[in-house]
Amino acid sequence: MDKTIAVIGAGLIGRAWSTVFARAGWQVRLTDNATAQLDAARDFIAASLAEQVTHGLANDPEAALARVAFVPELRTAVAGVDWVQENLPEVVELKQAVFAELDRHAPTSAVLASSTSAIPASRFTGALAGRARCIVAHPVNPPHLVPIVELCGAPWTAPETVARALAVYAEVGQVPIVVRKELDGFILNRLQGALLTEAMRLVGEGYVSPDDLDKTVRDGLGLRWAFMGPFATIELNAPGGVADYCARYSDFYRRLAANPAPASVWDEANAKRVGDALGTPHSQAQRDARTRWRDRRLMALVAHKRQQDQSE
């Protein structure tokens, strides 16, 4: 029998998770307290699946869409499900309230996962009878095209919950990783934060233009990072591998680490300097067009990576 997921919240992330699970053959119940969001989610899922077909990333979009039920009532959405993925706004009190409701109404066998970007599960699951089945499963926007999922349990999350999460997200085509101990920003946003904080310093202090900094990532670091991580990268950047790399370059990195970009690069004055350097902000219409363009480029890149992985 098909497995069923309740997706709580039909915003950017909830509608994308619905696409992921429906595409993989799951029955999906998507719920939101704003009817307009459910309508917008239906349009988004239909359009995205149709476009994914052209890149070979989905097949039979009508059947996938038909597997998604749009359910206004949270209790109805979670009745009898195997999995719950919560995607409400990033407000701890809201997560606490909704997880209490999920724990009461979802079957005790269901895992309760949160998409939270930055709130550790211990801050909103501690008081629950079913806290051992709660876990953070943090995606990257948009999860139907960017497959990483960071799994991070609270100290009371059962190892079995983590094991089930690893299996389920892999089964639906994502790439789950385990964050072994709770920490602010999990892994991905800590890495992104290190890069962005330095970028804010370099542009804010006038070392480089935003456009040239973007090129440095897009046509430099990021080109390799699309298929190999930083450790795999440095392994090839010294004849003797990682140990040799550290021996050759650790003095340089130690000097950099001794003079980190200060927290003040995120203050209003520097944010304004960076904003001025970036120039006129995009209009909403331009941002919408760029989002569609980004998703098309991502689809082509994901399709390319899959093809390369298969031919290796």
| Cβ 184 vs Cβ 174: under 8 Å | no
Strand partners, 4: 27
Q: Which is nearer to ligand NAD, 10 or 111 (CB)?
A: 10
- Cα distances (Å, whole numbers) of residue 211 to 214, 277, 279, 280: 5, 9, 11, 13
We find the least distance from the C-beta atom of residue 308 to ligand NAD, in angstroms, to be 26
Residue selected from 3, 12, 75, 208 as contacting ligand NAD according to rule CB under 6 A: 12
Query: Out of 117, 122, 197, 216, which residue is the one contacting ligand NAD (CB under 6 A)?
Result: 117
- When binding is defined by CB under 6 A, the residue of 25, 34, 221, 223 that contacts ligand NAD is 34
CA angle 218, 223, 229 (to 5 degrees): 120
116 is a site residue for ligand NAD (CB under 6 A): yes
Q: Which is nearer to ligand NAD, 13 or 202 (CB)?
A: 13
Does position 43 interact with ligand NAD (CB under 6 A)? The reply is: no
Query: CB 146: neighbour CB atoms within 10 A?
Result: 16
Residues 155 and 122: beta-carbon distance below 8 Å: yes
Which of 21, 32, 49, 67: binder of ligand NAD (CB under 6 A)? 32
Query: In angstroms, what is the minimal distance from the CB of 223 to ligand NAD?
Result: 23
List the x/- string, 73-112, binding to ligand NAD by CB under 6 A.
--------------xxxx----------------------
What is the sign, positive or negative, of the torsion defined by CA atoms of 207, 210, 212, 218? positive
Q: Are 82 and 1 in contact (CB under 8 A)?
A: no
CB of 189 to ligand NAD, least distance (A): 9
